[in-house]
Structure 1
Amino acid sequence: MLGSRIWTLYTQYSAALQQAVGIASKDVDANVRPIYQFAEDWQVLGPFQIGTREAVWGADPLELHGGFRALEYSEQAMFKSSSAFNATVQWSTLKAKLSDPRQTQQASADLSVDFSHIDWRSLQDVYGWPALQWQGWARGEIFVQQGVGTITLALHAEHVLEFWVDGKHYFGGDWYGYGRAASTLHLQPGRHRIDIRLVRDVRRDGANDEPVVNVRLRMQGQGALVQAVLPETNGGYNPYNGILVSDIVGDANGPFASPYASVTLRNDAQVDAHVYSVEANHNQCEAEFVGSAPIELVAGQTRPIAFRIACIPPAVGRGPLRVTFKYHLGDVQLTRLIFAYALPPVRDLYAPQKMTFMHPGGMVSYAVLRPPSLNAHCETGSNVSAPVLLALHGAGLEADSDIVRHALDDLPDLCAWTLFPTGVTPWSGDDWHTWGFADVEAAIAAIPDWIKQVGWEGPGVDVDRWLVTGHSNGGQGVWYALTHRPDKIIAAAALSGYSSIQNYVPYSLWRTADPAKTAVVQSAMNSYRHELLLENVKGIPIVQQHGEKDDNVPPYHSRLLSQMIEQAGAVSDYFELPGEPHWWDGVITTEPLKHFLRQHLNTGGPAIDKAPINLRAFTVVSAGQGTVAKHGVEIQQLLNPGQLGKLHVEYDPLTLACFISVSNVQSFRIPPWFQDCDFIDIRGQRLAELPVSETSGTVLTQHNNGTWLYSSPEPTLPPRQGRQLGALDAVLGTHGAFYITHLSPAAQHVALQVSRNLCQYFGADTTITDNYHEAKAANGSNLITIAIGTDLPASTESPIAFLDSRLEIKDEHYYSSLHAYPATNHLAAVWLRSLPDERLELVVWGADEEGLEIAARLVPLMTGTGQPDFIVADQTMLWKGLEGTLALGYFDVWWEVSKNSYFT
């Protein structure tokens, strides 16, 4: 029940609220017929060919005919398709499974679409899993009852990437079924057409013999500021009805494991909302925003609201946890109550427990932490610091689920801080890469805060020594950690992980494109090519485990990596368990794994050797995503992005000389132990008396004439560095909530779409504004600029500009040539621009509104899509896919177009 004070506020402002939201006050008898519902009858067209993660690039053959939205149902119409007999497909119909029409809170439609007449087996026999992926379209209707006025609905489109409602395009949908960020619709009484693009993906849907796409559409009638998570999705991520909060530690009198909490809210009104106050359980708990107030939610926006909370003990008898937000909706003051069913559970001090922390992206995330138990076999002494045991979950799992939380219960004696990160989402944001791994590192950094919060008196934590393990997608995350953070890892156990995203479900059925374009896209995913980075794992103890009968991630992946590890001069122990599938009870704690974990944790673990003593030689490999260090030698910048960089060090103990050879490296740092070298030889250039700092080492940079220069302690490097390195998804390395700025009213819809997608797929927070200069000056935050035509502010540091009705790209590598693309055929482009302090601006630009819609597709959304630093395309991309691009490529460390870029 609502409290009397809140109920008074609610009744006082209900009339104003209805006017602001646009819901008529006329009562409707829901027992006669529902106010809103989906149609039962749907029309379907397909299947058509689609490659792995290709849909972001368009690649829809129906766009050649003006798009599915321009077609009308016809039993006689035929369309060319490489998937079907006689190379043609026709329309078909199906019936959706609808929710009970007597429900007044929501309406749903479940569609199960298959094409049983297609010979999928013969296609799979030739092309493998990629043949089980297809695309198509389905058309239905939404009915709104007459006499209710304009109604506000929140539409969740689960397992859908894009759809159209009444001719308006919505891109992003809810591909993984998170239920985090719905699309807000304002519909008048009558019939409303909805067209849904169906895309089957093996990584998401599995490799079944009958490849079905299951879509669920849900809509709810809404008020203004509402909780964004539906009740039926309040599993691990929001176990307390949408309030993300830490567990209580120790007993009923214990504190929260962390003070950080969060509620995801959506503004379904047609005016902006400003949240200015947060309160929790009056006279029992205190709450305050993490950042400044008021917090703005523009009309239709979803945001995670971060706050701190503390309650007086004891927990028993305090009752449910209640958080109240006060906000303005236009000139109206309102209150929103988020009501939890109960307080968080009380966890024993030594039990796995949820702790919350701030993700670098400016929102609250969580991890499950298990401190060293009383039975842990740790060395005694006041200065004992145990390493971190990272356990990375697989795709579709929550760290707070029982299957993850208790995965290592059979090993209570480990001398380690066992940490189950979430990666922000069940799919770890981006497969434990830029966004997901930033979450891992933030969770590790939060352990000392937990120690202070609960008054821990046991072993300390060494946040720079990790043993990393993981299963399935988490096993792939182990390979990412090994190849990108080798200096942090004392040992690793990769379980049933795939070798690379490109090797898992191959990209063989993408629409045909110029191989020069394909090469750029594939190179943009080099950080996922673990097979090419295995020289970084040399010297690290590794165990691999895989089930022989795994039909999810075939054991071929682990077998291949086992072979390639040996070829890279490294060592791993490989165990393939006869008859075992992808997952079974105890997969994380088999006897070989128990022995391995105890061996490297309960004996103090091997030291991370910063010097190459006994190694004589080692190699560091970088894919260009941030920096990579091995034995303290850190590759900082590459000469040619999109191409691997390598640095090889040989140490001669007789002459005390260090020989360094480099390939595609612009700058690197050498650590203090290089002081022991009598001299350093870099590709024949001898450097004597090198001033190596005792703390930070020395950075060497290659001059344009090929000679190497050094500086210490603070180097002057080319301007693109640190968080700016990588492909287009480097923008995910923001420090603070993203700023999204739209520079004209026509761009607002796309700005809202980008914000919704970042929240849906990454759990990210965004600030939407039309003040470009305010957004550009935001401290730490990366900026996404949504612009049409001449709206875009110029940048003297960027080689791309819109001038004289054409988009121009200055290319210094080829006689200072200028590539120009006229603003015709809905020209579209995305590219990165530099901001101070390693910040980035992602420009999303269209010559017109249609071009802007095309460009917005290329904002990073899901892994494996391969966007480089800049892309120029036109309307033909919607049906040609990658081949419809006009230019794509990279910027080097000087923010100039790289020589391996592509231009028509």
Structure 2
Amino acid sequence: MIQAKIDVGPEWEAVGPFPSGMREHPLLASPLHAFPRAGGHANADIDFARRPYGEGDWPSELPCGGRAAWARFTSSHEDDVVEVSFPADWDQLRADRGWASLQYSALLRTRVVIPPNAGAVLVDALQAVEYAFVADGDDDTPPTWYNGDVYAFGATPLGERDASGPSNFAKPVVLAPGGYTLLVRAIYECRMFGDPGVGNPPVIKVTFRAWAGAPASLLPGLGVFPDVVDGWLAGEWASVPLRAGHAPLVVDVDAEVAPGLRLKTVKTVHIQPYQTRPVALKIKQAKRLAADVKQLKVALGGFHWAIDVTHASISDTKSFRLTFASPAPEPRQPPALVSLAVVVPPAKPYEPPTFPVFLALHGAGVFNEEPGWRGEMPTVPLSWVILPSGRNEWGEDWHGGSMADVWAARDALAPAIAPIGVTVSNETVLIGHSNGGQGTWHLAARYPDRIRAAIIAAGYLKIQDYVPYTEHTGWRFADPALAGVLMSALSPYNNDLYASNLASVPILAIHGGADDNVPPRHGRAHVALVSAWTRGGADIKFVEYKGKDHYWPGIFREDAVKEFIEALPPKRSIDEVRKAGFTLATANPDESGGKGGIKIIELLAPGRLARLDVNAPQWKDGAGDGELDLHGTNIKRIEVTGYAQGEAATTFELENGEWAPVPSSSPLPPPRAYGPVIRLLSTRAPIVLVVPEASDSPLRSFAVRYANDLFTYHRVDVNILGDGDALRAVADGSLGSGSVVALGRPDQNRYSHWLIAQERIPLAFPTRGVMTIHGALVYEKGAGIVSLLPHPTAGDDALGAIVAGNDDAGFDLAARLLPLRTGVPIPDWAVTSTRSLWQGAGGFIGAGWWSREWGWSGRASWLDRE
């Protein structure tokens, strides 16, 4: 279907530049709200849409003279790109606080007219953070802000649908016909756009396109299907997205698509109007697929998916595509998403494997199917290579759900190739470049027992050291105690805090000496940290290549890499690791494995770092043979695996300073599921958003928008349920083990009412327009809360959450804090206020962590009232 393109005004007017902290944009801190116009509209967004061009300027620390002003820009006729830059002494700013000073935000506007009978429109907003439409003549309705496609997924090979139409990630927006002022928030972020270089201004490039109509569509360009290897599909899952039009879609598939080959939905899939949802299909194969089968067809939701089949022979293929559930779901449940990894087999795949499997993590923005990335892998005889996606080119920086995707890919390989009689090593060597190098540090330090070694190229230490958070506007308003609580939300992702876990893991870190993207200081610092924890005894080496940049061809085929691989020692036994002594650290037991067969499974105080010294040299009374000398901080329970292979693990609890074994029959409840809020994305099944039943509810509209955002940014499946259906699912046990988020106050949402009535967390809504947190009254208009809470049916293996406001404005502010991109520091809960509009995080009423039993935690929370 050919859709008519809507003319978006080529002339753009903008104000800026304003400072923008790293990943601060969900917290707002808008200068337009900080400096309202005298006599202007009470809503700063509407006021900006109506304000005459050139009227007024705004205080800002970035431009010379300290005032941000108006500017005009024209979009390109060929590709609709508008390039935004502002005059400022950027080199002087850089000299002050480094490249973080180059980050800035701007607010843009132009005109757009929605034609009659357009219905919904499809929007591609590439590299835009947010956008909104202010209708002509409507001064009463606050504009709705939509998340843009800031990573420009729509311009990637997967995202591009055709040259002239909307991308696969275009989002439906329902607008009445007529004229609008289009508002766009844009940022220059160093992590995305890089360093423009000395003497060059940082330029934001935004592409905004819209098309009339948003009909129901199958999106085969985003389909996921495994290759056929010697007649057998390399994976048990497939998926393809469907986007509903103005009517909902119901999809139920059980089809034989070839002799002995069936595709089946695990559960009926319900897609809400204008929602995009990936439909997961379980593959059941009973016999080899004939080599002459080049295409399969399956009907779903009124559409037909024509699947092009790629056949390969394991003996001569360069690579094949492996699909899998990410992560593995519970029986009879659909997965959170169906993911795809590229597998590179060895030249002689049928010979017994003599070297570990390489698990290779790509850099930011890199597509894991790119031949160039595959071609960079070390060539080791009889070694297999897996190139996971981490969900997509950006994912979660190899944290959370992206980390789970890596391990799911590793676990999926052996069963996928077992039908053709091929085996792989059960050992793993992690390898990664740039963001994937950071990810390699991350995975290695969280799961040291799962790997044999790690090879890291140009990996940064942690997100706050890559692009510092020094430019956050909110920090200039926040109580330092509040800032500390918020930043503790990033502790689980701070690789430096986990450096002690890497003792006994052979590591090679390589870096270009002239790298101006991730300077070699990052690699040097990480190696120094690991070495310090082992008193210089770590099996770790740093190699710096003078004059080399961030990347160079053959980076993983350098002599140092070959020598490291050839000299790789056997993996140390549990006994050897324990006798050498180590310190095990974690800030989140749910995303950490063990070391030496010892795992921290419960914290005394969530939100704080836990460390366990095992036979560590700093303690005078060492353990005897076969004994463990254990000293811990912030630890309630640990799990210890015996010395013998396969011996069952024993749980120990700290009581009165002594470690006591916990009997298997103990009534002690299992440890709670841990935050921070972004861990809602680490879901084992589709995320469930619970909304009021009314089809015209603004909360239902928000749920569709957020579901589409989650699909764009994470490819995650989302099931939107009415509150009545959710309560019935709780009663009959069919809710599933995915993260469950309730939208709205108890007086708006019956599921929220039931949830709060359980009193699992110290949050209450005693009357409309009021909430209490640990008994403290929050009555302000515009206040809203986002909070984790226990999952209603999945025990302590999953998370629930609630988002609610004292009014609609409060909900809108709190809903901005639902997770979408990494690095946004929100712990278990946070309460916003209207001050957040201009103070960012400094305008929070409170934030913090719940206790290990989901109660109040005074030691890890901040509230501006008693």
Deviation digits for residues 800-819 of structure 1, max 9, x if unmatched?
Answer: 121134655554xxxxxx32
Matched, 1:702 2:641: no
Change (3 A) 1:122 1:737: same
Change (3 A) 1:653 1:63: closer
Give the distance between the partners of 2:453 and 2:33, measured in 1 at CA. Answer: 50
Answer with 589-598 or 43-52: which moved more: 589-598
Residue of 25, 30, 33 corresponding to 1:55: 25
Question: Aligned-pair distance for 1:625?
Answer: 4.5
Conserved 8 A contact 1:799-1:897: yes
Change (3 A) 1:719 1:662: same
The SS at the match of 1:38 is coil
The SS at the match of 2:552 is coil
The SS at the match of 1:725 is coil
Conserved 8 A contact 2:254-2:265: no
Question: Aligned-pair distance for 1:370?
Answer: 2.3
Matched, 1:113 2:80: no
The SS at the match of 1:867 is coil
Residue of 828, 853, 859 corresponding to 1:869: 828
The SS at the match of 1:788 is coil
Question: 1:419-434 counterparts in 2 under 5 A?
Answer: 419-427=386-394, 429-434=395-400
The SS at the match of 1:128 is helix
Question: Aligned-pair distance for 1:339?
Answer: 4.5
Partner of 1:820: 777
Give the distance between the partners of 2:494 and 2:410, measured in 1 at CA. Answer: 25
Partner letter of residue 395 of structure 1?
Answer: A
Give the distance between the partners of 2:440 and 2:833, measured in 1 at CA. Answer: 39
Question: Aligned-pair distance for 1:256?
Answer: 2.7
The SS at the match of 2:456 is strand
Question: 1:430-441 counterparts in 2 under 5 A?
Answer: 430-441=396-407
Deviation digits for residues 345-403 of structure 1, max 9, x if unmatched?
Answer: 63544532111011125321011112343189x7x6xxx67532111111101111112
Unaligned stretches of 5+ residues in structure 1: 1-9, 11-27, 100-107, 229-239, 328-334, 676-692, 812-817
Question: 1:663-682 counterparts in 2 under 5 A?
Answer: 663-673=633-643
The SS at the match of 1:154 is strand
Residue of 713, 721, 727 corresponding to 1:773: 727
Question: Aligned-pair distance for 1:655?
Answer: 6.4
Give the distance between the partners of 1:659 and 1:418, measured in 2 at CA. Answer: 39
Residue of 241, 245, 248 corresponding to 1:272: 248
The SS at the match of 1:803 is strand
Partner of 1:494: 456
Question: 1:8-23 counterparts in 2 under 5 A?
Answer: none
Partner of 2:344: 370
Partner of 2:271: 297
Change (3 A) 1:225 1:193: same
Partner of 1:814: none
Residue of 59, 72, 84 corresponding to 1:80: 59
Matched, 1:355 2:350: no
Partner letter of residue 684 of structure 2?
Answer: H
Conserved 8 A contact 1:719-1:895: no
Answer with 120-129 or 642-651: which moved more: 642-651
Question: Aligned-pair distance for 1:319?
Answer: 5.0
Partner of 1:396: 365
Give the distance between the partners of 1:134 and 1:417, measured in 2 at CA. Answer: 44
Partner letter of residue 743 of structure 1?
Answer: P
Residue of 432, 439, 442 corresponding to 1:470: 432
Residue of 613, 634, 644 corresponding to 2:599: 634
Conserved 8 A contact 1:357-1:365: yes
Question: 1:406-805 counterparts in 2 under 5 A?
Answer: 406-408=375-377, 411-413=379-381, 415-427=382-394, 429-453=395-419, 455-457=420-422, 459-462=423-426, 465-511=427-473, 512=476, 513-569=478-534, 570-600=538-568, 606-612=570-576, 615-626=579-590, 627-650=592-615, 652=622, 654=624, 657-673=627-643, 695-703=647-655, 708-713=659-664, 716-721=667-672, 724-743=673-692, 745-770=697-722, 771-774=725-728, 776=730, 777=733, 778-788=735-745, 790-791=747-748, 792-793=752-753, 794=756, 795-805=758-768
Give the distance between the partners of 1:807 and 1:720, measured in 2 at CA. Answer: 32
Question: Aligned-pair distance for 1:664?
Answer: 1.0
Deviation digits for residues 636-679 of structure 1, max 9, x if unmatched?
Answer: 11112222111112284656543211111111112223x9xxxx
Give the distance between the partners of 1:297 and 1:607, measured in 2 at CA. Answer: 48
Matched, 1:45 2:5: no
The SS at the match of 1:492 is strand
Partner of 2:331: none
Deviation digits for residues 592-640 of structure 1, max 9, x if unmatched?
Answer: 112222333xxxx513421246834221111225244110111111112
Question: Aligned-pair distance for 1:309?
Answer: 5.3
Partner of 1:257: 234
Deviation digits for residues 162-189 of structure 1, max 9, x if unmatched?
Answer: 1112353234321211235432123444
Partner letter of residue 47 of structure 1?
Answer: P
Partner letter of residue 861 of structure 2?
Answer: S
Calculate the TM-score normalised by the size of structure 1. Answer: 0.83
Conserved 8 A contact 1:392-1:477: yes
Deviation digits for residues 852-899 of structure 1, max 9, x if unmatched?
Answer: 111111111111111100101112112110101001000121111222
The SS at the match of 2:566 is helix
Change (3 A) 1:456 1:407: farther
Question: Aligned-pair distance for 1:156?
Answer: 1.7
The SS at the match of 2:13 is strand
Give the distance between the partners of 2:605 and 2:451, measured in 1 at CA. Answer: 28
Question: 1:179-198 counterparts in 2 under 5 A?
Answer: 179=154, 181-198=169-186
Conserved 8 A contact 1:120-1:132: yes
Partner of 2:299: 324
Deviation digits for residues 164-219 of structure 1, max 9, x if unmatched?
Answer: 12353234321211235432123444323211101111101111132111111233
Deviation digits for residues 149-172 of structure 1, max 9, x if unmatched?
Answer: 233321121112211123532343
Change (3 A) 1:901 1:322: same
Partner of 1:164: 132
Give the distance between the partners of 1:694 and 1:256, measured in 2 at CA. Answer: 32
Deviation digits for residues 680-734 of structure 1, max 9, x if unmatched?
Answer: xxxxxxxxxxxxx97333212234x55544213466545543xx12311222232
Give the distance between the partners of 2:414 and 2:631, measured in 1 at CA. Answer: 40
The SS at the match of 2:688 is strand
Equivalent pairs counted in the alignment come to: 793
Calculate the TM-score normalised by the size of structure 2. Answer: 0.86
Name the % identity.
26
Change (3 A) 1:525 1:225: same
Change (3 A) 1:276 1:699: closer
Give the distance between the partners of 2:186 and 2:577, measured in 1 at CA. Answer: 57
Conserved 8 A contact 2:125-2:208: yes
Partner of 2:148: 173
Residue of 778, 789, 802 corresponding to 1:833: 789
Question: Aligned-pair distance for 1:559?
Answer: 1.1
Give the distance between the partners of 1:265 and 1:664, measured in 2 at CA. Answer: 46
Give the distance between the partners of 2:92 and 2:706, measured in 1 at CA. Answer: 40
Answer with 616-625 or 64-73: which moved more: 64-73
Residue of 261, 265, 280 corresponding to 1:306: 280
Conserved 8 A contact 1:538-1:618: yes
Conserved 8 A contact 2:322-2:341: yes
Give the distance between the partners of 1:715 and 1:357, measured in 2 at CA. Answer: 36
Question: Aligned-pair distance for 1:901?
Answer: 0.6
Deviation digits for residues 395-437 of structure 1, max 9, x if unmatched?
Answer: 10111111222222x5151x4331111111101x211111001
Partner letter of residue 644 of structure 1?
Answer: L
Give the distance between the partners of 1:550 and 1:642, measured in 2 at CA. Answer: 34
Conserved 8 A contact 2:603-2:636: yes
